[in-house]
Amino acid sequence: MSSENNIRVGIAGNALVVSFLSAEAPRMWRTDLAQLLTAALEVQDNQGKYTLVMKRGGAPTDEIATFARKDDAVKGLQLITETLLGGQETAASPSKKASLPKRILKLLLRIFSWFCMFVVVLNFIMVISSRHLSHSAGDNFTKVPAAQTGVPTPADDLLGK
């Protein structure tokens, strides 16, 4: 639910619900989301008063709320637009509180995925290097004949010369 300057906007089921407490005549306005598919919302100047209206092709203009200040009418239009574009209820302050655990969870998941990738790459490097060492070790060393304990063996036989 979006909230600012005593204007609250939210989606309840498949309806847009707006509460205008800062309007000249405080009111709540509700419309079906299907009607908004072909509608345009705008602020009209009516002799120093500013009216937020909804226009639909061929239908009469619906007055949503009238304000003494243009800023209030524009803020109402902005909050309605943000809510509709968000596709869900949004709030100025509660969403920040609600999104903090989500942001922390996303960060932890990102760190965990990087850690897993690091472990996989490290294991891959160890497997490749161990294969390389086992092949090269076999080429560089000659086999030493087994020496028996307590039996004299010439050094040339032990060292392979």
Q: In Å, how far from its chain's centre is CA 119?
A: 26
Judging by DSSP bridges, how do beta strands 7-12 and 2-4 pair with one another?
A: antiparallel
What is the distance between the alpha carbons of residues 138 and 84, in angstroms, rounded to a whole number? 70
- Of 74, 24, 77, 80, the residue nearest 49 (C-alpha): 24
Dump pLDDT digits (tens) for 139-160. Answer: 555 555 566 778 888 778 777 6
Higher pLDDT: 13 or 122? It is: 122
Q: How many residues does the chain have?
A: 161
Dump pLDDT digits (tens) for 68-106. Answer: 888 888 888 888 888 888 755 444 445 555 578 888 888
Dump pLDDT digits (tens) for 59-70. Answer: 788 888 888 888
pLDDT given for residue 137 in this prediction: 53
pLDDT given for residue 39 in this prediction: 84
Cβ-proximal residues to 90 (8 Å cutoff; 6+ apart), any chain:
1, 2, 82, 83
Cβ-proximal residues to 21 (8 Å cutoff; 6+ apart), any chain:
6, 7, 8
What is the distance between the alpha carbons of residues 47 and 53, in angstroms, rounded to a whole number? 15
Reported pTM: 0.50
Dump pLDDT digits (tens) for 5-57. Answer: 588 888 888 888 888 888 888 889 888 888 878 888 889 888 889 988 888 87
